[in-house]
Structure 1
Amino acid sequence: MDSTVQKEKAERLRSLHYGDNMLVLPNIWSPLGARILEKKGYPAVATASAAISAALGYEDGEKIKRATALDVIERIARAVDVPVTADIETGYGESLSELEETVFQVLGTGVAGINIEDGLEAGGALRDIDEQCQRIALVRRAAAARNIPLVINARIDSYFSSSFSTREDATEDAVARARAYSGAGADCVYPMGPGDEDTVRVLKNRIEGPLNILVTPNAAPLAVLQKLGVNRVSFGPFIFRSCMRKFADIADSIGRGGDYWCFSDMMSRAEVEEFLISGAE
């Protein structure tokens, strides 16, 4: 992708965090999903690492190779004209030099933004705040070296960590990390958590700058999150899992030798082709 175009997309993505309308990102895992959202008027699209990994048959947590993840991300970025923000998990590299190489390769896919997280393992310890700040600052420098104002969304896993025995303790840690990460160069902070109205209100009141909230099945409605001043919402793997439930139900129906009710509300071939490229790869 032309660097001028990529820079413009990054600037456009950043501006979407400051508009009157909350940036809503139903996370996708394929170019087709990205095209559907673009056609339906979404101003940007975001990938979900868990959905991409699962679609390829692997668990989340950088179980697929970096090259594999980047290939999918690049295909998605090339598929649409709107900005794409990519979930790169912890950055595919423990050392700063490995992380820097990941950033350069990610920039080569044409994306306008990234998610980078501080969790070291599911439900376990988090990376030290100072160390994570070094990593975020490195991402900012690496992007600046390529003259791309990459939008950095710093994910905070305090609420998922076993290190905190109460919701209040997790909130204190999340707020401290949010402030530190913003100071290190993050454009938006993403304290992954329950998304309930009371917790979101506390986070919004105590964190300056754009706030990203995960929409879980039990989270506050979008209208409430908008009213609270949330800047961005993500859906993580929940849309993917909902689609997989539909697929599993179809498989069960066929396996029982039932009728074809499961195809009654499918897209027609013409409707699908509306989102496809007619030429060859």
Structure 2
Amino acid sequence: MAHSPQVEAFRKLHEAGCFVMPNPWDLGSARWLRGQGFKALATTSAGFAFTQARADQDVPRDMMLAHIAEMVKAVPDLPVNADFENGYADTPDGVAANVKLCVATGVAGLSIEDATGREADPLYPFELAVERVKAARKAIDDTGSGVLLTARAECFLTGHPEPLKEAARRIEAYAAAGADVLYAPGPKTAADIGTIVSAAGGKPVNALVYGDFGLSVADIATAGARRISIGGALARAAWAAFMEATRLIAEEGSFKGFAGNGPSAPLNPFFTKDLEARS
């Protein structure tokens, strides 16, 4: 089966260098990011959840699949990577079935986490986590789509007592299990990112930047990462401005929160021209 142009482009992006793959949360943010020249985009489970008045990790599978499909259609000329959380299943068979549904949306890539979403046991046991990656790999291979599989080690974000050591162990195993891209969200230093890169054994690594850690794109590239994503950071930045402006109105009767708004002039012509191009 021939791979789609988006899949081929996504694979090419991972072959050398380092690229930024920002995370829009709706059609407008997706089109705007495309207009800024980014070569690939990724969904954000948190950013989308907030638009649905839900907490992160509280979006049902079918709602998320519909959103992913909408984002793919929003930027048909760009690769889209799906934040597919933990595959919406505990068992390898369940992950495999859901991965095939995600592939059917037209994504160029998707990620599977090893976080359970349960406070008592936040990470899947090591052996089960590896089997889940293997199941996702086989599911994608069965489709013949060539969609890139990103395996995520959530040790930093789930409070593991030795997050770097355990993440490196899992990343090494996930690479051997067939993941195309490895991802351990949480490291904030070039040295820690380098440790994950080493554990990946030559396969591409995604680094997450969700705050200003003092690292530039060049710094992260030097550490060895091939891809940088932003997660829900852009959505949170938008919400932060919104919340502060509404707080000032509600608590102080002030509209000072609008001071940095600027006119909507840049948006109107951009979306007018963009719609004409899409039509």
- Please state which band the TM-score falls in when normalised by the shorter chain: 0.7 to 0.9
The residue aligned with 1:172 is 165
Could you tell me whether the CA contact under 8 Å between 2:99 and 2:136 is conserved in 1?
A: yes
SS of the residue 1:274 aligns to: helix
The residue aligned with 2:150 is 153
Q: 1:69 aligns with which of 36, 39, 64?
A: 64
| Residues 1:18 and 2:15 aligned together | yes
Q: 2:6 aligns with which of 1, 9, 22?
A: 9
1:93 positional shift: 1.5
The residue aligned with 2:270 is 271
1:113 positional shift: 0.5
Q: 1:228 aligns with which of 208, 219, 223?
A: 223
Structure 2 letter corresponding to 1:229: G
SS of the residue 1:159 aligns to: coil
The residue aligned with 1:192 is 185
Superposition pairs of residues 198-217 of structure 1, within 5 angstroms: 198-208=191-201, 209-217=203-211
| Residues 1:111 and 2:110 aligned together | no
Residue identity over aligned pairs, in percent, reads 26
- Could you state the TM-score of these two structures normalised by the residue count of structure 1? 0.87
The residue aligned with 1:243 is 238
Q: For each residue in 1:51-84, what CA deviation from the matched residue of structure 2 results, as whole angstroms up to 9, or x when unmatched?
A: 11111111112x2221111111101101111110
Could you tell me whether the CA contact under 8 Å between 2:92 and 2:136 is conserved in 1?
A: no
Superposition pairs of residues 247-258 of structure 1, within 5 angstroms: 247-255=242-250, 256-258=253-255
| Residues 1:39 and 2:35 aligned together | yes
Structure 1 range deviating more: 254-263 or 149-158:
254-263
Gaps of 5+ in 2: none
1:278 positional shift: 8.2
Superposition pairs of residues 41-56 of structure 1, within 5 angstroms: 41-56=37-52
Aligned residues: 271
- Could you state the TM-score of these two structures normalised by the residue count of structure 2? 0.88
Relative to 1, partners in 2 of residues 1:113 and 1:245: Cα closer, same or farther, differing over 3 Å? same
The residue aligned with 1:85 is 81
SS of the residue 1:245 aligns to: helix
SS of the residue 1:67 aligns to: helix
Could you tell me whether the CA contact under 8 Å between 2:169 and 2:199 is conserved in 1?
A: no
Relative to 1, partners in 2 of residues 1:201 and 1:141: Cα closer, same or farther, differing over 3 Å? closer
| Residues 1:129 and 2:126 aligned together | yes
SS of the residue 1:158 aligns to: coil
Structure 1 range deviating more: 113-122 or 67-76:
113-122
Relative to 1, partners in 2 of residues 1:29 and 1:277: Cα closer, same or farther, differing over 3 Å? farther
Query: How much is the aligned-residue C-alpha RMSD, in angstroms?
Result: 2.3
Q: For each residue in 1:241-272, what CA deviation from the matched residue of structure 2 results, as whole angstroms up to 9, or x when unmatched?
A: 00011222333455525376354243342223
Provide the rounded CA distance (Å) in 2 between the counterparts of 1:210 and 1:120.
Answer: 24
1:39 positional shift: 2.0
Structure 1 range deviating more: 253-262 or 264-273:
253-262
